[in-house]
Amino acid sequence: MKLKPDTLRQLARVIVATRPDEIDCDEWLARVGRLAELERAGAPLPPDLTPVRQHIEVCPECVEEFKGLLLALEDDA
């Protein structure tokens, strides 16, 4: 399988952005509710949620889920 240059650049960015404390999508999903509530309230991000925030910077599927969660929370307000 031959990858296009844009795909290779995107993969390289993800590899460089990988951190030793990175979480997977399942752990992110278990913790994202708290992140969303704090962001809606404009509260500071505690250190234990840093990996949750970082995960949506590198995972396109989870960033879409996060956007949907924020919209749902706005509708409930």
pLDDT score at 30:
95
CB atoms within 10 A of CB 6: 8
Identify whether the C-beta of residue 32 lies closer than 8 Å to the C-beta of residue 52.
yes
Structure confidence at residue 1 (pLDDT): 75
Closest CA to 69 of 39, 25, 27: 39
Coil, helix or strand at residue 42: coil
pLDDT at 53: 93
pTM of the model: 0.68
Q: Output the six-digit token pair for 48.
A: 């234990």
pLDDT of residue 21: 74
Give per-10-residue mean pLDDT for the chain (77 aa). Answer: 87 75 91 94 94 90 94 81
Contact 27, 16 (CB under 8 A): no
Q: What is the reported pLDDT for 68?
A: 93
Tokens of 52: 């949750």
